[in-house]
Amino acid sequence: MRRKIVAANWKMNLSLAEGAALVNDICAGIPRLADDRKVVIAPPFIHIPQTVAQLAKTDHVHAAAQNCYQESAGAYTGEVSAGMLKSAEVEYVIIGHSERRQYFAETDEMLARKTDQALANGLQVIFCCGEPLSVRDADTQNAFVEAQLKDGLFHLTAAQMSNVVIAYEPIWAIGTGRTASSEQAQDMHAHIRAVLAAKYGSEVAAATPILYGGSCKPSNAAELFACADVDGGLIGGASLKAAEFLGIIDAMVKA
């Protein structure tokens, strides 16, 4: 059975004190998690040592980073390597988030190298993909997302894919006033799984968690997580409030 995962992406939010309080509230309210249910928290870099320490005694809750660099070391001022993250006891790293692609011009070739660095250092990768509004309106979203997966991930072996989680972000449904239905989410997740099966076989495809990253909140989480190919969520704004994030975790536990 593949893992069910709810991952929090805090983005560039919260002071150290605010972050510590949020993690405390989450840990205090989190239900007992079965071995195939995981919670991942990705704070800004400066929070990582603090967050790792707070999560040390909470089963199945893991610290993540929001990004890593594509080189292992060197004169890259302001960047953080996968090896540094591993030394800080981070377990997951988000790669290819839509904001990184848009605001920092991250290319598929760059993301493939970041993925290689993360896997070489023993990190689990949460690899993001998803289409903007223009692609969705042109009804070419399947080909667009397939190209992202092929260019970013398909150099990996089947064994390496066991350490990859995919997160689908319908960019057109985030902060635009438009929403993606559970049917639209399921359709894309099923397509992603079919693309994985064509490359790696049905066993790898069936084992790969695919998360939904499009404005998931407590009010729609249960419906989304009930979809056959939706294995949890990559949560943005709702992860900054303990009650909302716990509500989404509860939906994942019951899915």
**Of residues 106, 131, 146, 169, which has the active-site annotation?**
169
Q: 217-248 pLDDT, tens per residue?
A: 999 999 999 999 999 999 999 999 999 999 99
pLDDT above 70 for 93: yes
Mean of pLDDT over the chain: 96
Confidence class of residue 177 from pLDDT cuts 50, 70 and 90?
low
Q: List, in order of start, the domains of the chain with CATH numbers.
A: 4-254 (3.20.20.70)
4 is in an annotated binding site: no
Query: What pLDDT was estimated at residue 28?
Result: 96
What gap in Å lies between CA 150 and CA 131, rounded to an integer? 15
Exposed/middle/buried for residue 247 (C-beta within 10 Å: 0-12, 13-18, 19+): middle
- pTM of whole model > 0.85? yes
Query: What pLDDT was estimated at residue 220?
Result: 93
Residue 62 bears catalytic tag: no
Query: What pLDDT was estimated at residue 248?
Result: 97
172 is in an annotated binding site: no
Mean pLDDT for the stretch of residues 200-223: 95
Residue 131 bears catalytic tag: no
